[in-house]
Structure 1
Amino acid sequence: MASRTHTAVIIGAGMSGLSCARALVQAGVDVLILEARDRIGGRTWTYQHPVEGRDKPLHFDLGASFIHGIAGNPMYAMAKRNKLPLHVMFDGDGTPASTFSSSFSAGSASSTSSASQSDSSASSCSCSTTTSSSSSACSRSSKIERNEGVYGPDGPPLEHKLAERLNFNVTRAFFSDSAAYAQDSPNAVPAPEDSLGQWMKDPTRSSLFDGLESERDKAYALALAESWEGYSGARLDDISLRYWHSEVTFRGPDATLVDGYVGIYSALHSDIVKSKHGEVRLGEIVEAIALSDDEESVRVTTRTRGQETTYTARHVVCTLPLGVLQHAPPRFTPTLPQRRLNATRRLGHGLLNKIIVAYPRAFWPDTEYFGLLPSAPSEAFLPLLKTRALLAQNLYVINGQPALLFFMGGAAGEALEAVSDAHVREHIHKIITHHFACHTTSVPEPEAVIVTRWNSCPFSYGSYSYLPPGSDPQDFRELARPLWDDRLLFAGEATDPDHYATVHGPYLTGKRQAQVVLNKLELEALEAEG
């Protein structure tokens, strides 16, 4: 079945597709969005979870949840313009928040050795759900000055100074010193095959182990660093050191939307559909994209509930995720250039899954992030957690919902997809009880446990792109290059070397490709007049 010809067809109703469509309809261009899912938003998805006895459902961002750098960021600007409440990650003194709640400085290094030695007595106590043992555990941890968010293998928090040092080292090595080594070294440039993991694990180059004397404490530091694999969605050994933090992006602290990203992608969708020029169709799985014989239009063939439909447009903007282009792309006729195929293969498409555990009440400290070091319960959950920590975000301090969000990135995210929901529910509750029972007289049963599996989704095959060793930022630029004399264009986070793996990246690329379409239409109009 065929449909009428549109000026522009956009494949995908994620952030880039919605951004592109809005820019075009505001310019008076006829636009049709084809979305395979039964919802808009793509890899931004604010999920509503009803809970019996609660007036409102709980809400969680199952995909993207951060605004990375608020200064000049269009996501921050849209949130402010639409009066969407934000949680900006500042410390109490008004400075951007660190990874956990630590205010540790390099000048404190002299106290680290003694802190490390005294840690064993503070962290060896056992936590359980009974009143007596919980009270006893917290009593024996009374030396802790404040909760730094790092919990030891035996359950309770580590001694304050050691936890502070670990937080400082991980944050500095992962975000600062590694970038300085890769981008600003006066002596050398990392080789193309060098990985971030090689640097992080090398004590002669990395600052990860600074001030840590025992092998145990060094293992703690590495375990916490590996819990940050969700930042890039890949194993540390799979990330290029040469291009680590080479992007030019927005500055300032990060932020999260209190009510989720739905406020932003719904606003974009509303602007599109209220216009007489815009339409969004869901459940349209794109199978083929072909240039017409006269090369003046593009045909897009979809399948919906077994029915095949062909749409024709003067311009098509493809916003399919990199994972889809790598694993299950539509048929392109003519085939894509070899340089495009090579760039698509070289780039990495990372994985960040989430486990969200909601309780009737919050019984943990008001620290925003928790690093849970390897323990017997975590190893029983996933064997690879024997050597890596779990990173959890406290949603209660962000939006008042008594829930913990576990970031399962890279290898941990892959392992998560191999176990059942029932397995996750059983073991993640045991892990939470193991670490947080010392803060309460009893640990309630969770009201909800939600697990994402983005790698298993045929419309994403992962979460966002990254640069592995051997790739180059030019690969992102290649994916952005228009084809077929600007009849076929591409947008999305994997088409921007400065803003990949963000939400503002696809938004900006959508607007960029909308302008390419408008420029082409203007040129054709001028040629017709001449």
Structure 2
Amino acid sequence: MEPQDLSDNPTAAVSGESTPENQSSPPETTLEVRVSDSQLDETSEPPPKKRRRRKKQFPEMISSAAAVTGLRILRPHPKSNIYSEKIMDDIIGMQINDSPALSKTHRRRRRIADLAKEVDVEALVAISVGFPVDSLTEEEIEANVVTAIGGAEQANYIVVRNHILARWRWSVSTWLTRDHAMESIRSEHRNSVNSAYSFLLEHGYINFGLAPAIREVQLKPNDSLKASVIIVGAGLAGLAAARQLIFLGFKVLILEGRNRPGGRVRTRKMKRMDGCGVIAAADLGGSVLTGINGNPLGVLARQLGFPLHKVRDICPLYLPDGRMVNSEIDSRVETSFNRLLDRVCKLRQAMMEEVKSADVSLGTALEAFRRVYKVAEDPQERMLLNWHLANLEYANASLMSDLSMAYWDQDDPYEMGGDHCFIPGGNERFVRALAEDLPIFYSQTVESVRYGADGVAVHAGGQEFRGDMVLCTVPLGVLKKGMIDFLPQLPQRKRDAIQRIGFGLLNKVAMLFPYDFWGGEIDTFGHLTEESTMRGEFFLFYSYSSVSGGPLLVALVAGEAAINFEMMSPVEAVRRVLDILKGIFNPKGIAVPDPIQVVCTRWGKDRFTYGSYSYVAIGSSGDDYDILAESVGDGRVFFAGEATNKQYPATMHGAFLSGMREAANILRVANRRSLLC
């Protein structure tokens, strides 16, 4: 950030219980253990792409109040200092009570140094939330936060915006008023304060969440009713939008096809066969808070007092015969894999400069380079390389053959930094809290949406619901299947984007055991296979013992194996998983017990999702996410969900943020319409 003259710096002077399974799920199948074939849905948070697999999996429990950039501790970089949440108060106190014994020049130098530090800290908070350092976002430009782009007004606005944002992030359980935002800013910058405060409030960057003080203001009856909005889907996007819209003065109704909220966030409570007590909570869908810096779900965790488990960095790999992979070979293949990715990135850069629209599959490009550079020709090394490819297929819910070489990682620049975390007890705890007090109509599968100049009509469950606008938050898989008729039909531009964006598959086998036989010292471990087409079958195991409440293992099924898995009986799936576990632990003299209960997901067959999460397919790009997010019908039909969020696709926080985004868009359209009337 450019150094700013203190005379123009706005902050330089200080003024005075679980619901039943959805009805489409097949019945439980019993072998010698309870095996449930679940079609509940699946949007497991993928780890960031092109990262090492040993991504911090389950370290010590940490307080959610001390885990997030922009909260009590700022950690924008491993070498950064820890800044106190009271830095603003310290600066104010220093300016008011400066020691008379110090020279005027010395006092000014102290003020300059501390103010510069404060501005830098607040800028880091803003960066963690997704704001650029020295420019406005597209949302801010569209909201006309300044009268002219560039210049002193914009520079002052950015400093003010960062200050307000950081001030609330330091105390997320209280409502930050406009007057509070003005307290430490020069009075001549009141216009910037009003502009920044209104923008941050209406777009859900401050004063959102589930703390008692926040809820009290958000759900307070609003006499100035703006319009009525029908929200299709009670996932994270729909729930976030509903709460924000109610606060903004809209009448809201949510239609949900399932008999529970949450969508692809689903926590299954697993019990003993005798039904005595819940002893484990398994996240069958979205499970990881990917990057806690700036993550809005991290804010919710703080407000609700949920502790966080950082994901720890240990992941031994086992050969098909159960032997552990030699660490030297493991490291060598991993290095080669990363170099292959680097070479592909250089190739695509050259291709995009020469041929603007060139694209092939990432899998094809990697295999070509593997052959040219003779990587992983040894059978064991080839199995290791296939494991890394399976991990990449897991991250993208895609087959390597379907993934765009040109744009598969287009969201990397926006990635939220920080630790990846788990919420003990599962992410449905967020869902239940968000859904509380909202007008949700369950078991209402939407069949059609009719829109025009006079409003919208939504047909669901044999009923018609009428409103001024509709927000569609259904998964991309539902839109691809054409399960909802839009009348008139959606513009060709949007229909093309729906078909171009990929919507892939990841499945899980959650197994509750009578005790933790794999040992508390490891939290994840991987398994290699000789058959490349089956490389994603049970290739990675997560230990949830430290967060689920019981000895729980979750095996992941990715890539082509995830598709084949949906045709496999749950009994056969359990047999295969147990064979792998016995092959690993029996030679060590550790007996593998039969599981108490097993749940197998079937996200591809779930009629409310038809898949897990989005990815950039060959011929697609980040632009298609933006097209899918566009409203249609002159501001009558809006769209939210992870597949509408170019910056944070395939994540829970991406869905949440898209709901906030559309609430602001709906407000803007409603205000414009009221001015025209």
TM-score (norm 1): 0.78
Once residues 609 and 374 of structure 2 are traced to their aligned partners in structure 1, the CA distance between those partners, rounded to angstroms, is 34
**Residue 197 of structure 1 corresponds to which residue in structure 2?**
363
2:281–2:548 CA contact under 8 A, matched in 1: no
CA contact (8 A) 1:302 1:309 kept: yes
Change (3 A) 1:155 1:243: same
* Cα distance between partner residues in 1 of 2:390 and 2:606: 25
Q: After TM superposition, list the pairs within 5 Å mapping 1:18-417 onto structure 2.
A: 18-52=239-273, 55-90=277-312, 97=313, 101=314, 148-167=315-334, 169-170=336-337, 172=338, 177=342, 180-181=345-346, 192-203=358-369, 209=375, 214-247=378-411, 248-270=414-436, 273=437, 278-292=438-452, 295-303=453-461, 308-365=462-519, 366-374=521-529, 384-385=533-534, 390-399=539-548, 401-417=550-566
AA at the equivalent of 1:86? L
Give the drift of 1:413: 1.0
Taking structure 1 as reference, are residues 335 and 181 closer, same or farther at Cα in structure 2, changes over 3 Å only?
A: same
Taking the aligned partners of 2:379 and 2:576, their CA distance within structure 1 comes to 28
Q: CA offset at residue 233 of structure 1? A: 0.7
Deviation at 1:201, TM superposition (A): 2.2
Letter in 1 for 2:632: L
Q: CA deviation at 1:156?
A: 2.5
Q: Pick closer, same or farther for the CA change 1:227–1:250 going to 2, 3 Å.
A: closer
Distance in 2 (alpha carbons) for counterparts of 1:216 and 1:156: 12
Match of 2:265, SS state, is coil
Q: Deviation of residue 372 (structure 1)?
A: 0.5
Report if aligned partners of 1:182, 1:244 keep a CA contact under 8 Å in 2.
no
CA RMSD of aligned residues (A): 2.7
**Deviations, residues 142-186 of structure 1 (Å, cap 9, x unaligned):** xxxxxx51101211212332234445555x469x73785478779
8 Å Cα contact 2:386-2:535 kept in structure 1: no
Please name the residue that 1:421 is paired with.
570
Paired residues of 2:410 and 2:621 also in contact (CA < 8 A): no
Bigger CA drift: 457-466 or 469-478? 469-478
Aligned equivalents of 1:218, 1:244: Cα separation in 2 = 23
Deviation string, structure 1 residues 230-273 (Cα, Å, up to 9, x no partner): 21111111111111222122122321212111121122112xx1
Matches of 1:60 and 1:401 in 2, distance apart?
10
Is this contact kept in 2: 1:230–1:410, CA < 8 A? yes
TM-score normalised by L of structure 2:
0.62
Relative distance call for 1:397 and 1:167 in structure 2 (3 A) is: farther
Contact 2:408 2:615 in 1 (8 A): no
Residues 387 and 460 (structure 1), Cα distance of their counterparts in 2 relative to 1, 3 Å cut: closer
**1:272-303: CA deviations, max 9, x gaps?**
x1xxxx410100010111024xx121000011
Look up the match of 1:144.
none
Structure 2 residue runs of 5 or longer lacking an equivalent are 1-225
Q: Contact (CA 8 Å) 2:402, 2:617: kept in 1 or not?
A: yes
For residues 179 and 258 of structure 1, the distance between their equivalents in structure 2, rounded to whole angstroms, comes to: 39
Deviation at 1:388, TM superposition (A): 6.8
Greater CA radius of gyration, 1 or 2?
Answer: 2
SS in 1 for 2:592: coil
2:384 and 2:470 map into 1 onto residues whose CA distance is 50
Shift of 1:65: 0.5
Q: Is the 1:224–1:389 contact (alpha carbons within 8 Å) kept by the matching residues of 2? A: no
Contact 1:395 1:403 in 2 (8 A): yes
Report the CA distance shift for 1:186/1:316 in structure 2 as closer, same or farther (over 3 A).
closer
